[in-house]
Amino acid sequence: MSKLNVLLVTYAFPPAGGVGVLRAASLARYFPEFDIRFDVLTTRNPSSVGSDDSHLRDIPAEVTIHRTMTLDLPFGIKKWLKRRLSGKQKAGLPPATKAAAIQPPAGKPNFLKRTLQELLLPDPQVTWLPILTRAARRIVRERQIDLVLITAAPYSNVLVAERLRKEFPNLAIVLDFRDEWIATAFDVAAFQFSSSSDAAQAFARNAEAHAVKAATAVVSVTEAANREIRGRYPQQPDSKFFYIPNGFDATRLRKSAPTEPKQDGKIIVTYVGSIYASTEPTMLVKALRSLPQEIKDRFLFRFIGQVEDNYRETLLSLGDLVELKGYLPQHQALAAMNETDYVLLISHDRLNISAKFYDYIGAGKPILACVNPSGDIRLRLEELRAGWWADSTSVDSMRQLFLDAAARGTSLAGTFQPDQEKIATYERKPIAKKYAALLHSLAGK
pLDDT at 330 (0 to 100): 77
pLDDT higher than 50, residue 210: yes
**Whether residue 273 sits in one domain with residue 176:** no
Banded model confidence at residue 381, pLDDT cuts 50, 70, 90: very high
**Whether residue 343 sits in one domain with residue 378:** yes
**Whether residue 235 sits in one domain with residue 274:** no
pLDDT higher than 50, residue 73: yes
**Whether residue 69 sits in one domain with residue 19:** yes
pLDDT at 1 (0 to 100): 57
Count of CB atoms situated within 10 Å of the CB of 251: 10
Average pLDDT for the chain: 87
**Whether residue 150 sits in one domain with residue 298:** no
Helices (H), 273-317: 282-289, 293-296, 309-316
pTM summary value? 0.86
* Phi, psi for 24 (deg, rounded to 5): -65, -40
Q: pLDDT digit string (tens) for 84-105? A: 655 544 433 333 333 333 344 4
pLDDT at 246 (0 to 100): 96
Does 60 map to a domain?
yes
Does 108 map to a domain?
no
Does 366 map to a domain?
yes
More confident residue, 205 or 200: 205
pLDDT at 228 (0 to 100): 97
pLDDT higher than 60, residue 196: no
Q: How far apart are CA 177 and CA 388, in angstroms?
A: 28
pLDDT at 117 (0 to 100): 64
Q: How far apart are CA 41 and CA 8, in angstroms?
A: 6
DSSP letter assigned to residue 248: B
Q: pLDDT digit string (tens) for 172-184? A: 999 999 999 999 8
**Whether residue 292 sits in one domain with residue 225:** no
**Whether residue 271 sits in one domain with residue 242:** no
Q: Which amino acid belongs to residue 104?
A: P
pLDDT at 85 (0 to 100): 54
**Whether residue 411 sits in one domain with residue 433:** no
Does 101 map to a domain?
no
* Alpha carbon of residue 334 to chain centroid: 16
Domain that holds residue 416: 267-424
What value does the mean pLDDT take over residues 348-359?
Answer: 92
Q: Please, are residues 438 and 245 in contact by the beta-carbon 8 Å criterion? A: no
Q: Which CB contacts under 8 angstroms, 24+ apart, belong to 382-389? A: 383/419, 383/422, 384/418, 384/419, 384/422, 384/423, 385/417, 385/418, 385/419, 386/360, 386/361, 386/418, 386/423, 387/342, 387/343, 387/345, 387/360, 387/416
Total of domains in the chain: 2
**Whether residue 286 sits in one domain with residue 390:** yes
Does 87 map to a domain?
no
Looking up residue 139, the CATH number of its domain turns out to be 3.40.50.2000
pLDDT higher than 60, residue 337: yes
Cis previous bond, 15, omega within 30: yes
**Whether residue 232 sits in one domain with residue 123:** yes
Does 431 map to a domain?
yes
Helices (H), 309-354: 309-316, 330-337
**Whether residue 276 sits in one domain with residue 225:** no
DSSP letter assigned to residue 280: -
pLDDT at 387 (0 to 100): 97
Does 98 map to a domain?
no
Banded model confidence at residue 427, pLDDT cuts 50, 70, 90: very high
Of the listed ranges 236-240, 326-330, 369-373, 393-397, the one predicted with least confidence? 326-330
Residues in the chain: 445
Q: pLDDT digit string (tens) for 383-414? A: 999 999 999 999 999 999 999 999 998 778 67
**Whether residue 225 sits in one domain with residue 285:** no
End-to-end CA, the chain: 6
pLDDT higher than 70, residue 166: yes
DSSP-assigned letters across all residues of 399-413: HHHHHHHHHHTT--T
pLDDT at 107 (0 to 100): 44
Does 255 map to a domain?
no
Q: pLDDT digit string (tens) for 123-142? A: 889 999 999 999 999 999 99
Helices 198-214 and 159-167: angle between axes, nearest 10 degrees: 40
